[in-house]
Structures are given as structure tokens and as C-alpha cells.
Chain A
Amino acid sequence: QKEVEQNSGPLSVPEGAIASLNCTYSDRVSQSFFWYRQYSGKSPELIMSIYSNGDKEDGRFTAQLNKASQYVSLLIRDSQPSDSATYLCAVNLGSGNTPLVFGKGTRLSVIA
């Protein structure tokens, strides 16, 4: 079974701290990785994509990919209460024209 695993949380961090969200995946040929943010009652919105090993930074967000260890993480620096949401990790299995596989998400709570 090809899977994407995330800790469900809730992950609570104080305002201004770094929030670290982790995701592991089971398929070694996976090549494309995405982080979505979902506010309560809303639909997921894409915040980061990463395709190569290493770090990719976009504002306060940094995605980190380690294909050898099969994990991808999202760091949120200077966390704000508005970052409180569920973060979904999504992986392309790399086995042809198939949908992304989504993790169940990690709920992040940033405490003011």
C-alpha cells in the first residue's frame, strides 16, 4: 500500500516560534511533493511544491526534501495565529498518470 503519513497533531507552538511539520512517504520513485494549507471549513490551497533534494524557501515557509530517507517537511518561521490550520502533504507516486496521494494532515495551532 503506497501511503503518505503525517502526525495528526494538534501541534501547538507559541507565536513567533518555528513550526515544523513532517511527512513520510512509502514510494521510492516519488518525484513531486506538495504542501497544502486548509483552514477550517475551507478547501486546501497550495503553499509549497518541491521536486529536488534540499531546501526550498518562500517567505516564511521552507520545504525540505530528503528522498533517501523518504521524508518531506515544512518549516514555518515566525509563526502567526493566522497560520493555524491543517497542513496536508501530497505526493506524486511517480508511476504514471495517477492522482496525488494526500496525507491526512497535521493540525497546527499557533498560540498568541
Chain B
Amino acid sequence: DVKVTQSSRYLVKRTGEKVFLECVQDMDHENMFWYRQDPGLGLRLIYFSYDVKMKEKGDIPEGYSVSREKKERFSLILESASTNQTSMYLCASSTSSGSGSLGLREMIVQFFGPGTRLTVL
């Protein structure tokens, strides 16, 4: 079974603190993702990575950065936490198929970690 783990289930931080959220997967997946989920807004992609040391911005990267030094680990960093970053943070990983419909590699099914509920006071 694919296992994606996140460093904390619950986290409480103060405004202005630097926050690190860690995600580890054990299936040798190339791709890893960070989402936040808020009521009524669905899953919103913050950043993703398709290879070690590679990162791509998602839909809402402002206020966040990421690090992927090893294939199995993808870290989300809040440089200076703010109250509007209070949310559920979800990490996911996936592999890519060899050849999609357009002859391109395609990311396939994503597996999620348990989530970290972050509260910024």
C-alpha cells in the first residue's frame, strides 16, 4: 500500500513564525503535491514537484515555499505565518505513466497523506 505521512496532525503557531510542514512517501513516486483545503473552496494546489530539486507553482503559491532535496520528502514552508493561512494542509504523491494519449507522460492517481490542521493565532 502507498503510504504518505505528514509530520503533524495538528499544529498551532503564532503570527510571524516560520512553519515547516513535512511530507514523506514510501512508494518511490516522482511527483509530490501540497494542497490546502478550506470550507467551500475545495482543494487548492499550492506547489508541486515532479522531480528532486524541481518545483512548480500551483494556484496559490503566495506566502509559501517548498523544498525537495530527496525523492521521498517534500516540505512546505510558511516563511511568516499569517492568520489567513489557518487551514487543513494535505500532501499527496503520484507516479507518472509512460505515455499518455498525446504521447506525453501523464501524472496519474494521487494518494494523500492524513493532513495537517494548522492554526495560526
Using a CB–CB distance below 8 Å, which chain A residues touch chain B? 29, 31-32, 34, 42-46, 49, 88, 90, 92, 94-100, 102-105
What are the residues of chain A within 8 A of B64 when measuring CB–CB? none
Beyond A29-B101, A31-B100, A31-B101, whether A46 also contacts B111 by CB under 8 A is yes
Point out residues on B near A: beta carbons under 8 Å: 31, 33, 40-43, 45, 48, 50, 58, 90, 94, 96, 100-102, 104-115
What are the residues of chain A within 8 A of B40 when measuring CB–CB? 104
B96 touches A97 (CB 8 A): yes
| Total cross-chain contacts (CB, 8 A) | 69
Interface of A is mostly: loop
Q: Which residues of A contact B106 (CB under 8 A)?
A: 31-32, 92, 94, 96-97
Contact partners of B101 in chain A: CB under 8 A: 29, 31, 94
CB within 8 Å for A49 and B109 given contacts A31-B101, A105-B42: yes
Which residues of A are found within 8 Å of B48, using beta-carbon distances?
99
The answer for the CA separation of A44 and B114 in the assembled complex, in Å, is 8
Query: A29-B101, A43-B90 known; A100 and B113 CB under 8 Å?
Result: no
